Structures are given as C-alpha cells and as structure tokens.
Chains A and B, each alone.
Chain A
C-alpha cells in the first residue's frame, strides 16, 4: 500500500496550507533539517521535508529538489507571500502544529505502518 499526502494530512491531523491541488503525490520517506544546504545535499526527490524554517527560500529548495511536500513544525506563522509563491511553484506546504520531535515521530510511525502493510 502506498500513501498520499492527502491521506497523511487526514490521518495525522495536519493542515495543508499550499498546493492543495497536488495532494495526490505519494508520501514514502522524509528528511528533517533546518539547514538548507543539508537538504539540498542529502534529501532525495519525492521526500517530505520537515523543518521549522518558514521563509521564502524553502519554496525554491523544495521545488529544485522536487520534494513531495514541506512539513512546517510548531505553530509558525507563514507569510501569505510565501504561500502564494509556493502555490505558483506547485510546492505543498503542510503545517503539523506540533514540535519537530513529535512531528517526525508521528511521520516515522505512520510511514513505517504503511510500509508494513505493503
């Protein structure tokens, strides 16, 4: 079984802030980092990216690396300009509303569960 961003958002009670039209993308693995060059160097295309960064440059990183979605942790407010830019670049931004540790823990558990059902 493979899961989509849409199922993941519903299952984990996250909130999609941009790129709602792209929620059918698959979700299978994630990379967590607040260092942009670390993500550029080590994340793989199609991965989810967990971060607490909310400035405009996260959109370029996600788009250039063809990441599945950005998952923003905590209750960080994201500038409407950043969301509009993400929308234009077909970058999905999802808010977890939870700290990074809880967010990655939930994601890990969920993605492992999906994998075990394959």
Chain B
C-alpha cells in the first residue's frame, strides 16, 4: 500500500497531519501499539523538520506486510554537516521556532532511535532526503 503527502514549509498549523493520517491507516492493521508509536514519533519528527526548515517537501509511504518504508524529501537549505545534525542538542532552528518548543536538537536522534534503518542524505542549498524503515 502506498500513500503520498505534501508537506508545506513553515505551515505549523497543518503540521503533524501526514504522520497522524499514516498512524490512523496503520491502526487498521495488526501492528503492536509499541511499533505504531515508534512509527508515529519518527514520522512526526521528520514531518516537523520539513515544516521548520524547508520550503516544501513530500512524504512517501510504502506499507508492506512486515515493514513500513518512508521517504521524506524536501527542497530547502539542506544540512551542511549531517554528523553534527545527528548529535542530540544540535539545532539550527530559528528563535521563533524554538519558542514553540521545537528545535531542541532531538528530532533526528528521535528518528534514529525509533526506526530500524535510517538513511539521511543532503545537498546544501538544494534539499534533504530521509529514508527510514520500521519493521512490524
């Protein structure tokens, strides 16, 4: 089963919609609540990264019998130093975004913790591509 969502950069009021819809869809399947919550956390963080940093992006979801594979791609500033971005506490979020409680530098570490496989690639000035898999 495949699903696709657009994510608009800067639109905090709609943020979380894609992850919520994926979670709702997955609830129909026989997936443990724990795995479901791991997926929800990983997708929400990935979605918020696009909202907080990029101009626009898309989330492509592929649900297979034993795993979910998700690609989140965006057009935006990209990530200069991926190793640094993966460090807990490192963030380039603006003050405005931080005031909302985002930009704690825990998004990418949370994604890594909650997925079974994660691949992050980026071209500074062009955009970022994140691919993650969670096994059921």
- Chain A interface (Cβ within 8 Å of chain B)? 34-38, 40-41, 45, 51, 53, 55-57, 59-61, 63-66, 89
Chain B minimum-CB-distance residue to A45: B37
Interface of B: prevailing SS? helix
Residue pair A37, B33 in contact (C-beta under 8 Å): no
Given A36-B102, A38-B106, A60-B44, A66:B16 Cβ within 8 A: no
- Chain B interface (Cβ within 8 Å of chain A)? 12-13, 15-17, 19-20, 23, 33, 37, 40-41, 44-45, 48, 100-102, 104-107, 109-110, 113
Residue pair A35, B106 in contact (C-beta under 8 Å): yes
Residue pair B106, A41 in contact (C-beta under 8 Å): yes
Given A41-B110, A45-B33, A53-B101, A64:B19 Cβ within 8 A: yes
* Complex-state Cα separation, A59 to B13, whole angstroms: 11
